[in-house]
Amino acid sequence: MIPGNETDVVAAIEKVSPAVVSVATLRVIQESMFDAIPVRGMGSGIIFDSNGGILTNHHIVEDAERVEVLTPDGKKFHGEVLGSDAMSDVAVVRVDGENLPAVKLGDSDKLKVGQISIAIGNPYGFMLPGPAATVGVISALKRHIHVEERMYEDLIQTDASINPGNSGGPLVDSSGMVVGVNTANIPFAQGIGFAIPINAAKRIAKEIIEHGRVIRPYVGIAGLTLTREIAESYNLPYEQGVLVARVGRGSPARRGGVSAGDVILEADGTALKGWEDLQHILQTKKVDDTLELLIGRDRERGKVHVRLEEASKVIA
């Protein structure tokens, strides 16, 4: 007999699994002028619309010449990539289907550390029937991970392992609601997994469906919340704000006069307690808007004005 809490986990997996698909891709890599090598890839996806809308990861479908979607019951579809967002690692694929099993999307803003989390994938489709699932807990929220030139923001961290094949599949709570999109695009994530919050994925998917891409303003800094310990370590005369760790080459911030080591104290007249405050203000801005920043540099303060650009045109 299965214990009660395990029954909930089993029921959640059974509820979501019919909508977890395999996403198979084909890329062509040009090794030389005369040699082209086909490279196959495989990941997972989530049917969120019964008429054929599928959420997956950007890194799964990036530069794909062909996309095939395989459902757990053995159906095969040609997939059309409606759009893909490198900054969030979210992509939307459309297949020509009707009355497909679709998941229910939860509210990731209501997640709590310690909740049960279930990472589900279907990387092999009908070749190896049945879902691949790992179970753990939500171990942290709002994680900011810097990988090469990209900053992945507000990620869900879980100790449910997310293997490459399960990337693009759903992170599910114990009631079977999808609370995140798994990503295995974090190379140093050993023993932990990360997922894109479903609320963010929904916003990104909406923009992709409406515009074919995500239109977001880009400032071009990597920063962290200034704490008392950090301020004391670097002998900074400020109690709160955003410490600028790095400024992107050719970014709006660099052209506006922001430098690594600066502390951003205010944005558009609003005092910043930390990195999240700056992100929330950026979410209210549009491309070509001007962002006024109050900067602390050494013991001097001054204002700079940064004209925001479209992120997808800056980060390619």
**What is the arithmetic mean of pLDDT over 260-268?**
95
CA dihedral 136, 139, 144, 148 (to 10 degrees): -40
Q: Which of 89, 173, 262, 277 is catalytic?
A: 89
Catalytic, out of 167, 173, 262, 312: 167
Instruction: Residue 57: give its domain's CATH number.
Output: 2.40.10.120
Is the pLDDT at 316 greater than 60, yes or no?
Answer: no
The pLDDT tens digits of the residues spanning 85-117 come to 988 899 999 999 889 999 999 999 999 999 999
| 127 has a pLDDT exceeding 70 | no
- Tens-place pLDDT, residues 40-62: 788 999 999 999 999 999 999 99
d(CA 301, CA 264): 10
User: Are 228 and 191 in a shared domain?
Assistant: no
What was the pLDDT predicted at 125? Answer: 61
Q: Taking the model in full, what pTM does it have?
A: 0.76
Helix (H, G, I), strand (E, B) or coil at 192: coil
Q: Is 88:201 a contact under the CB 8 Å cutoff?
A: yes
Q: Report the mean per-residue pLDDT for the chain.
A: 87
The per-residue pLDDT for range 237-250, each reduced to its tens digit, is 998 999 999 998 88
Give the DSSP H or E segment for 291: strand 290-297
**Structural domain tally of the chain?**
2
Residues 177 and 256 in one domain: no
Task: For residue 63, indicate whether it is catalytic.
Answer: no
Q: pLDDT over 90 for what percent of the chain?
A: 62
Q: Within this chain, do residues 118 and 2 fall inside the same structural domain, yes or no?
A: yes
Looking at residue 1, its pLDDT comes to 34
Higher-confidence residue: 44 or 190?
44
Q: Answer whether residue 5 shows pLDDT above 80.
A: no
Examine the pLDDT at 128 and tell me if it is beyond 90. no
d(CA 252, CA 218): 7
| Domain assignment of residue 297, given as a range | 217-314
Q: Residue 130 — pLDDT band, cuts 50, 70, 90?
A: low
**β-pairing verdict for 116-121 and 221-225:** unpaired
89 catalytic, yes or no?
A: yes
CA 219 to chain centre: 18
Same-domain check for residues 148 and 273: no
Which stretches of 46-191 are DSSP H helices? 58-61
Concerning whether 159 is annotated as a catalytic residue, the answer is no
Q: Is the pLDDT of residue 204 over 60?
A: yes
Q: What is the CATH number of the domain that holds 251?
A: 2.30.42.10
Residue 30 has pLDDT above 80, yes or no: no
CB-neighbour burial class of residue 256 (10 A; exposed 0-12, middle 13-18, buried 19+):
buried
